[in-house]
Chains A and B, each alone.
Chain A
């Protein structure tokens, strides 16, 4: 039975990265004063799975490294070792290293040996340090304190291990192959195998899928018991296994006597090896192994996969079932159609439409994953950055269950990293500065997500110093982004927007945290690319908040079709507040703002779409058409159109696939009649409108 295991490699990476995230989260949540056993167990389990998987796939570097870490974790788990902030930090660095190793093997890139060795020696130092006289690390530790012991082993004659391996009859159904195990053992040293065929039934009774064989193995190899156990790791629960040292020099025996196997052990039947000092934990349930394997097969086909809850899939299956029923009903109607069944046909079509829409929504929902996928990395980031900067920062996360399209999440991670990093670096002040200004020593960074209309709004807020108008302006003038005169006339919002200008950075020293001046403009262009917007609110001395507004999905949009002259445009429904007809008496001309109209005590500027897009034959009189009220960062605006046509969901098609990005439009769609309609990008369209009105425009708003 030989399977090509490389096809599972992608799944292994994916699962390992998930495991690493679990470890990281667990480590960050560990409180040195009150260690939660469940958390430690979760971290341990994740490390263990990575190690096991890495071993299976022959990623020895990863499995060795993880093994060291696992040893340490095991000691913590058993209570043999306390948790300190420094050990948490070392473990965090170690998870980074595992990630690095996995990435390196996944992408075939270079491994940063220096960091790796540094962290691995830190781990070992920790292992060999103080309160762990009863634990041993010789088996994993090629250097350091255990050097003498290692040398001793090397100098001694070969050990002889006798292994009795009696697999359960169902061994083959778990996907394990004894031959593979034996060949792995044979790699360690000289291996003799004796097969016990006494359990073999008569040929007539033989079930070829069952395993009737037992094996007695003799291994001449200079290895630790644990190394052998690792070979049998995946079959632990499916066999009777005993590993005994049958021949060894006296010196080594004492050494083994010291040993406490740090990893999980199968029920050992050790006769000449003294029982370990501490209890060994039970082996991980073998059921898990088989489950993981089944999942692996299902996922192996694609490179980038998505995990979908079974409830979503069940829902889809239900819907498809309904769709099939409707279809057959319509089919029957069509076969013998008479006028009196017209009503039935109409009902059927209505049902068909409902089914289709529900199906579409459910399919879209498959792509939706909670934003915690992106948020999870921030506790770590804040922890690291604040430690580096000597600041005290508390990160509060809310709304992490908000669901967003997977593509959107993947693309928003980098911009968010920039923003959070900035909040800690530039926003939160140093502890002494905070105390001096009467604030709590610990700063707070809030990261929240919520659905608002058809958008997801992510807010990154800090209670730090806020943006300083003078400082930003000074920098902008110095960098020739604006002249001093222009700066004087700018509103605060416009000044804040300067930080999105390419090449702008106010950090006085360029640190490795932020301040290279490549951040914010990239942040904004990335968010724009996703069809989102970014806004800054800031109060000097009290903190700032950055609002990122993103569409939930990149594929489909709820749109309002509007007509202007002979043209049809789509306005995203999410950005429309209301649509109204106005009377001539409501219209005012305001200096510097052009046409406005009065709506419930506020004056709202009017944007004439036909002027902006240069459309002929459209309605010119404001009272004859309609105003679609939309809102952007600077308040509501009325967009003047001829009339509203209808609402529909539209599939977004890009304009730049075959042409280029057109200012003011986020894309195009194909209407029911096969013609193309452009989708208006409201914030950008309003920006265009502002620019075309010189009284309001600044040259730098772009």
Chain B
């Protein structure tokens, strides 16, 4: 259970910090203020009748927290999770603030960037549905895809099609 404590430095008005991680060779980023902790992968308890990318629920110090596989969510091909990390994120959903985990291949770095660097996501070309994207920022030679955590995970709790879920 390797928790990472990240110091929040004083930032300029337009500056933002993102935590970036690797997923099938690409770099993705999430707002660092949403990251609650990072832990190693452990087997989750599968929950029947949920999508395949919902890997199950884990025990986070007494809380039951769902874990989602982003590779499967973005259809990047399944991989076994032995070396994977689970990033626990704070998500705003219809039910209020919830904590959810996403599985990534590895954590990369903390990226500081100016909001003026943020590019609009092109409508095509990316492998990830643009609905889930906040934009792109350059990091060195490469582009980091910034994910909108609330859209990506918050919507996963919408009532299931059979109408039995109680929101």
Contact = CB atoms under 8 A, between A and B. Distances in A.
Interface of A: 525, 528-529, 567-568, 612-615, 653-665, 668, 670, 674-678, 684, 702
Interface string B40-81: 000111111110000011110011111000000000000000
A658 B99 contact: yes
Contact of A676 (B49, B57, B159): B57
A674 to B, nearest CB: 6
Contact of B64 (A568, A614, A668, A674): A668
A630 to B, nearest CB: 17
A659 B167 contact: no
Contact of B95 (A568, A615, A656, A664): A656
Given A661-B166, A664-B48, 10 more contacts: A655-B57, A658-B64, A659-B47, A659-B57, A659-B157, A660-B160, A664-B49, A675-B43, A676-B44, A678-B57
Contacts of A675: 43, 45, 59
A665 B165 CA distance: 11
B165 A657 contact: no
Contact of A668 (B57, B99, B166): B57
5 contacts: A660-B160, A661-B164, A675-B45, A676-B59, A676-B64
Interface in B111-137: none
A529 B164 CA distance: 12
B166 A658 contact: no
Contact of A658 (B46, B66, B158): B66
B66 A659 contact: yes
Most buried by A among B59, B157, B159: B59
Contact of B98 (A528, A613, A657, A668): A657
B59 A660 contact: no
Given A662-B47, A675-B45, A653 B98 contact: no
Contacts of A670: 59, 62, 64
A528 B27 CA distance: 44
Given A663-B160, A663-B164, A676-B57, A658 B45 contact: no
B165 A660 contact: yes
Contacts of B43: 675
Contacts of B48: 612-615, 662, 664
Nearest to B62: A670
Contacts of A676: 44-45, 56-59, 64
A528 B164 CA distance: 11
B44, B48, B164, B167 pick with most chain A CB within 10 angstroms: B48
Contacts of B45: 567-568, 668, 675-678
Contacts of A677: 45
A659 B64 contact: yes
Contacts of B12: none
A668 B66 CA distance: 12
Label chain A's interface by main secondary structure.
Answer: loop
Nearest to A529: B166
Interface string B133-167: 00000000000000000000000111110111111
Contact of B47 (A568, A612, A678): A678
A647 B98 CA distance: 31
A656 B164 contact: no
A674 B167 CA distance: 28
Given A613-B48, A659-B100, A659-B157, A653 B165 contact: no
A655 B64 contact: yes
A266 to B, nearest CB: 57
A659 B98 contact: yes
> 3 closest pairs, A vs B, by CB?
A613-B48, A660-B157, A676-B45
Contacts of B64: 653-655, 657-659, 668, 670, 676
B157 A674 contact: no
Nearest to B95: A656
Contacts of B156: 660
A612 B48 CA distance: 8
Contact of B162 (A529, A658, A663): A663
Contacts of A567: 45-46
Contact of B49 (A525, A653, A656, A663): A663
Nearest to B46: A567
A653 B99 CA distance: 14
A658 B63 contact: yes
Given A653-B64, A678-B47, A658 B163 contact: no
Contact of B62 (A653, A660, A661, A663): A653
Contacts of A529: 166
Contacts of A612: 48
A654 B95 CA distance: 13
A546 to B, nearest CB: 22
Nearest to B96: A657
B162 A702 contact: yes
B163 A613 contact: no
Contacts of A663: 49, 160, 162, 164-165
Nearest to A667: B64
A567 B43 CA distance: 11
A325 to B, nearest CB: 29
Nearest to A685: B48
Nearest to B50: A662
Nearest to B54: A659
A661 B165 contact: yes
A614 B50 CA distance: 11
